[in-house]
Structure 1
Amino acid sequence: MKTLCFAIILSSLFTMTYAQKTVEERLQQIEDRMALKALVDEFSILADRKDVATQVLLFTEDAKVETMNNGQAVSALVGRKQIGDAFANFLALFEVVYHINGQQTVTIAGNKASGISYCEVTLVGDQNGKKMKTKMGVHYKDEYVKQNGKWLIANRQSTFAWRDVQPLGQ
């Protein structure tokens, strides 16, 4: 009888520990998903502010960014310096940069994750003396790495799916 009671108590303790660990793992996954969404949103907010110096810190030191347009790679950048220079040069072409982020899916495996995020970007700038508005549908295929407790973008493939250019106000 004592052996049976001991086995039941031991089994209960094991079950409680297992259940607690499952809750902790679930909580960590929720926190990681929220952090990854915040990372993508912060990237867009910093682009809108043209704060490239802070934006590049969202990438790993050796990050890679590939830009796709019409199914073709149009640029491949490696490292924060190259990424920052290219982003700054591009953003300087526009008076207004405005991102609206949409859906995101992520798969998390420990300190690594991958995901796809969708975004609509509006750019306002001068073209031949006329204010023009460019709207683009973009999706980012990302690989993330958690370093020192913080999620960073390690690889990004930016795909520009569509583009609409028209005079501002139309």
Structure 2
Amino acid sequence: MTLEILKIKEELRDLIDAYAYLSDEKKIPEVMGLFTPDATYKVYMGDFLAANVSGTETMEKEFNGHASLVKTYFTMNGQHTVKIDGDTATGVSFSQIKMIRASEGKSILTDYSVKYDDKYVCLNGKWLIKERIGYFIIVEERPFNG
């Protein structure tokens, strides 16, 4: 493995970590800066396609709408495997996401176990997400007393 490949792998890992950090802090405009302008984002809950948006302008509206319903996000990234092919790459990553929302005057904690399939592209020396598909594999919801 060359130093160049190692550098790219680190940049791609930093990209998905930045997605988690910025999303947790609800910095949606900054999150959009991690995507190509024509990016696509899909979410599957089991076999159900729950979201399918294209373009960062539309994505920003969707993300802001979702974030407005959430009191707190907390994301832990796990494995991240990439295959690099010049200025493009594909990746698989896994995350644990916790969300706290209000429902009927109570706080509800939802735990998500997520697998992301990503396509990345390097534009002007910067790696960006071109396509992200989130598979929400395990979803657990319970009252939160914290």
TM-score (norm 1): 0.83
Unaligned runs of 5+ in 1: 1-24
The letter of the residue matching 2:24 is D
Post-superposition shift, 1:72?
2.3
The letter of the residue matching 2:139 is R
Partner SS state of residue 94, structure 1: coil
Moved over 3 A (4+): none
Post-superposition shift, 1:75?
1.7
Aligned twin of 2:113:
137
Question: Rg larger in 1 or in 2?
Answer: 1
Partner SS state of residue 15, structure 2: helix
Q: Partners of 1:169 and 1:101 in 2: how far apart?
A: 25
User: Which of 39, 46, 50 is the equivalent residue of 2:26?
Assistant: 50
TM-score (norm 2): 0.97
The letter of the residue matching 1:143 is K
Aligned twin of 1:115:
91
Identity %: 29
**RMSD across aligned positions (CA):** 1.1
Answer 1 or 2: higher relative contact order, Cα 8 Å, separation at least 6.
2
Taking the TM superposition and a 5 Å limit, the aligned residue runs for 1:17-166 are: 26-166=2-142
Post-superposition shift, 1:33?
0.2
